[in-house]
Each structure stands twice: as C-alpha cells, then as structure tokens.
C-alpha cells in the first residue's frame, strides 16, 4: 500500500502548493459561504473521485476549479482565467514533489450559477508514489 494514497495528504499538498503559486484564495472541498468583494479569483480543490491504491502507487483524478469573477457586464474575465491556468500549468511543470506526480487529464469551462462566476475545471491526474 502506498502511504500517499491518502486523501488528506493529497489535499494538504495541493492546498499548500496551489495557495502559494496560483492564488491565495484556495479552498478544499467547498468554497466559503462569503466571497470577499476584493477577490477576483478562487481555486477549489475537489477530491471526490478519490485515489485507487495499486500497492506500490496510487492513482486518481482531482477536480481543480479555477474561478474568475466576471466583468461588471457578466462576461467571462478571460485575462484572470488565463493567469490562473498559466500558474497551474507552472505548478504541474515544476512537479517537484517526492509524494505526488501531477498531469493534466482534461480541461473544460463551466459557469457556477450559484455564485455567478465563470470557472474552468482541470481534471488533474495524480499518481502517488
């Protein structure tokens, strides 16, 4: 059993890594009830898909929701979204962890009608070592 096939260790690793490199507004599991008016971006780490344990390693997908506050007319703020995606790409390229290997599985755009924010969802592949 891989000692890193552990959701809490993965969530902690991703929160520390993304909060330090993508945006300070990084959350695990759920977004906060109150979103500050000064925020232009947020990241949500969603590990609902879990990790499979293959004894020597683990493997899974984590949904990374990249949120960008829309422009005042409601249109998508592509510049903010691009900044978030580029920062996440840099984290993936750096991939300096001894515990986890990261790779992009798939990316798609979405809209959160509860918060009225645009988001891009990155299906982040994870291999735990």
> What does the pLDDT look like over 61-71, one tens digit per residue?
999 999 999 99
Domain of residue 117, residue span:
7-28+39-128
Is residue 110 one of the residues assigned to a domain? yes
Q: What is the per-residue pLDDT across 88-116, written as a single tens digit (0 to 9) for each?
A: 999 999 876 778 889 999 999 999 999 99
Mean pLDDT of the chain: 91
Domains in the chain, number: 1
47 part of a folded domain: yes
Q: Mean pLDDT, to the nearest integer, of 6-19?
A: 90
What is the separation of C-alpha 59 from the centre of its chain, rounded to a whole number of angstroms? Answer: 16
Counting Cα atoms < 13 Å in the Cβ hemisphere of 100 gives: 25
Residues with Cβ within 8 Å of 44's Cβ and at least 6 positions away in sequence, in order, are 27, 28, 29, 30, 31, 63, 64, 65, 67
For the entire predicted model, the pTM comes to 0.92
Give the CATH number, domain containing residue 123: 3.30.70
């Amino acid at each position: 059993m891989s000692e890193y096939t552990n959701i809490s260790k993965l969530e902690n690793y991703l929160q520390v890594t993304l909060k330090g490199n993508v945006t300070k507004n990084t959350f695990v599991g759920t977004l906060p009830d109150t979103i500050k008016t000064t925020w232009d971006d947020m990241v949500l780490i969603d590990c609902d898909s879990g990790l499979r344990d293959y004894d020597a390693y683990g493997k899974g997908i984590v949904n990374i929701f990249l949120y960008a506050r829309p422009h005042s007319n409601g249109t998508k703020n592509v510049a903010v979204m691009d900044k978030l995606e580029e920062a996440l790409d840099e984290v993936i390229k750096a991939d300096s962890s001894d515990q986890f290997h990261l790779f992009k599985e798939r990316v798609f755009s979405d809209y959160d009608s509860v918060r009225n924010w645009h988001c891009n969802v990155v299906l982040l592949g994870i291999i735990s070592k």
